[in-house]
Amino acid sequence: MDQPLILQPTQSADACVIWLHGLGADRYDFMPVAEALQQRLPSTRFVLPQAPTRAVTINGGYAMPSWYDILAMSPARAINREQLEASTQQIIQLIEAQRDSGINPARIILAGFSQGGAVVLHTAFLRWNGPLGGVLALSTYAPTFSAELQLPADKQQLPVYCLHGRFDDVVLPAMGRAAHDYLLSQGVPVTWQDYPMSHEVLSEEIQDIGTWLATVLR
């Protein structure tokens, strides 16, 4: 496993954002975003992990950085659950490493774009046993959420910010909205924000994320 990219803050770290890239990208993808956000959050460390390179079925078996294989796109995305769980364990190890370095887990934020967002939603709500500061879900979906699944009471306190492009043709807005609506139905303090964009990130969105992080980590 490649080591994550770690951006240390200018002040002593008292919070951390663990930010996962999307399919086919790498740990440097969100480095400029993290650097911009650190200007507003001078005591927040950013940890940008790297997905393993593996064959992706929907892309003709071409090998690329991927948190899990996507086997089919419809009717609902069929994914390799074993690989998802392995990626989840990778993120849990990063949370534990930050905790062991002195960061209160209640001040650790999980963030992810697209496929990375699916991993952090799964990790935060279904696998991590303990407090967290919140979840940033960018242009993503939740393949492991289901209406039959009841979240425990401690998970119903975890703030989530869902951000999506109205013209996203990779992860359709309805997929992101379904994840939001499930969390809302469970009593989770979740916020939805969309933008006039496709499957990407806008500067306005980064400003909104900075405001949300500053509020959650105040």
Interval 23-57: pLDDT, tens: 999 999 999 999 999 999 999 999 999 999 999 99
Neighbour-count burial for 105-144, b at 16+ CB within 10 Å, e otherwise: eebbbbbbbbbbbbbbbbbbbeebeeebbbbbbbbbbbbb
Task: Flag whether pLDDT at 95 surpasses 70.
Answer: yes
Q: 17 pLDDT band (50/70/90 cuts)?
A: very high
Share of the chain above pLDDT 70, in %: 99
Q: Three-state SS across 40-65?
A: HCCCEEEEECCCCEEEEHHHCCEEEE
Helices 31-40 and 203-216 pack at an angle, to 10 degrees, of 50
With a threshold of 0.95, does the pTM exceed it? Answer: yes
For residues 163 and 205, is the Cβ–Cβ distance under 8 A?
yes
Task: Flag whether pLDDT at 1 surpasses 70.
Answer: no
Q: Which CATH superfamily is domain 5-51+82-216 in?
A: Alpha/Beta hydrolase fold, catalytic domain (3.40.50.1820)
Tokens of 160: 């989530």
Enzyme catalytic residues: 114, 168, 199
Q: Which helix (H) or strand (E) holds 81?
A: helix 81-100
Mean pLDDT of the residues in the chain: 95
Number of H-type helices and E-type strands within the chain: 5, 11
- pLDDT tens digits for 196-214? 999 999 999 999 999 999 9
Task: Flag whether pLDDT at 74 surpasses 90.
Answer: no
Coil, helix or strand at residue 191: strand
Rounded Cα distance, 149 and 173, in Å: 22
Phi, then psi, of 189 in degrees rounded to 5: -75, 85
